Structure 1
Amino acid sequence: MTSANLGLREQKKQETRQVISDHATRLFIERGFEETTITDIAEAARVAKKTVTNYFARKEDLALDQHEEFTAGLARTVAARAAGESALAALRTAFLAAAARHDPVIGFSGRPFARMIVESPTLTSRLRELHEVREEALAATLAAETAAEPDDITPRAVATQLGGAHRLLFGEVLRLTVDGHDNADIATAVTRAAHRVFDLLEPALGDYATRT
């Protein structure tokens, strides 16, 4: 198979995945996450039920389809920080930029989608799991970046604080969205909140994991 054929095949897979995700999101919003079945989604997307499960291992992943970027994001930001920049500074800068562009990864999703999440026990539970996975990934990166000993609790303690800050801010974006605020107002409010949250962490973590 030529590289061109491989490229077309990959493009087709991505298109199929997006079609399934789009139909799933529409049905979840219209009917509710708990009430929508994989069969419903397969029929709407005109694919086999097995095709849906091949692309999305869990039903929750159809709704939270950016979960891989979400769970890896904090760790990647820290790993890519500039010389002289601490982990906290890198994450602050990245979050403020994400708020300015209304990034879905930090919670910007529109009122119907946000309500779908908060009204679903399954999705709220899955979201908690994803926050925990994200903190674990961040802890592993901090440990590697600071050459911490295996029994050093510091990277995990720092990841818990930094992850907790992002969890809180994500919740604020979701809350304001459900309350009916538009993205511009949410960005203004969450930017102000982010400055406050990161300022509180600065005395303890401002110099931690600064890249030399």
Structure 2
Amino acid sequence: MAPHPTNAAAADGLSLRERKKRQTRQRISDVATGLFAARGFDKVTVAEVAEAADVSTMTVFNHFARKEDLFLDRIPEALDLFTRAVRERRPGESPAAPVRRLLLELADARHPLGGLGDTFSAFWRVVLDSPALRARVREAVEELEDALTATVAESTGAAPGDPRPRLTAALVVTAYRTVCGTTVARLLAGERADDVAPGHRELVECSFAALEEALRTLGEPYGAAPR
């Protein structure tokens, strides 16, 4: 039996008002995604999205700072997942270890942020066809690196000006980009997610094993102690 909406909201720690705001945001994003997939990102206006979602243009911008974020609506989720994983890592672990686990969990769940799924090729075709979306993806990568830098610095007690948190974050993000970029290229070439999955997991493992070796040269707590 599905939980009563009020109980679900309570379980989420959200008020009914916040829950409705979240539902409205999701509806707007879903409508926008359908329009962008059908007609192309650059050929759809925010006003058309608002009309299709039965909200005002102001409401759209209350939920999304820019048009690109209507399609790339998981950027805040990515920032939260990655920084929380690093912040809550196990004692003695490097900042890379929880990200490796997170990527494997996302892949197993076929979560969009894991880069592995049969429907993701259509999503990435829309992105690749739009200069504005490609630029926003690059910005999002920089935002993720900045957020991880701050989290690594805080969790390791780095002194101001210590370059190691930035280097650690950059290496983690590069590994993530490499894994997802390789997998997406295979999906765009027509391969099925189930066929790509073993190679995806192997690339996660070998990329982060190499990353752990690199981070050990920075010393603890950036690199995990050798086993």
Change (3 A) 1:208 1:173: farther
Cα distance in 1 between the residues matched to 2:214 and 2:224: 17
Cα distance in 2 between the residues matched to 1:101 and 1:74: 16
Tell me if 1:12 matches 2:25: no
Whether the 8 Å CA contact 1:71–1:131 is kept in 2: the answer is: no
Cα distance in 2 between the residues matched to 1:97 and 1:46: 36
Match of 2:145 in 1: 135
Tell me if 1:167 matches 2:177: yes
Specify which of 111, 118, 124 is matched with residue 114 of structure 1.
124
Whether the 8 Å CA contact 1:27–1:41 is kept in 2: the answer is: yes
TM-score computed with the length of structure 1 as normaliser: 0.89
Residue 7 of structure 1 and its aligned partner are, at CA, apart by 3.2
Whether the 8 Å CA contact 1:145–1:209 is kept in 2: the answer is: no
Match of 2:163 in 1: 153
Q: Deviations over 1:83-137 (max 9, x none)?
A: 2322222221221121111111233461221211122111111111111111111
Whether the 8 Å CA contact 2:213–2:223 is kept in 1: the answer is: no
Root mean square deviation, CA, Å: 2.2
Change (3 A) 1:14 1:201: closer
Q: Which runs of 4+ in 1 moved over 3 A?
A: 206-212
Unpaired segments ≥5 residues, structure 1: none
TM-score computed with the length of structure 2 as normaliser: 0.84
What percentage of residue pairs aligned between the two structures are identical?
40
Change (3 A) 1:192 1:54: same
Whether the 8 Å CA contact 1:88–1:198 is kept in 2: the answer is: yes
Which structure is richer in relative contact order (CA contacts within 8 A, separation 6 or more)? 1
Residue 28 of structure 1 and its aligned partner are, at CA, apart by 0.3
Residue 210 of structure 1 and its aligned partner are, at CA, apart by 6.2
Q: Deviations over 1:124-168 (max 9, x none)?
A: 111111111111111111111221111211111111111111121
Cα distance in 1 between the residues matched to 2:125 and 2:83: 28
Cα distance in 1 between the residues matched to 2:207 and 2:223: 19
Match of 1:182 in 2: 192
Cα distance in 2 between the residues matched to 1:17 and 1:92: 30
Whether the 8 Å CA contact 1:71–1:130 is kept in 2: the answer is: no
Cα distance in 1 between the residues matched to 2:166 and 2:15: 40
Cα distance in 1 between the residues matched to 2:214 and 2:87: 20
- The size of the alignment, in residue pairs, is 209
SS of the equivalent of 1:172 reads helix
Cα distance in 2 between the residues matched to 1:79 and 1:36: 39
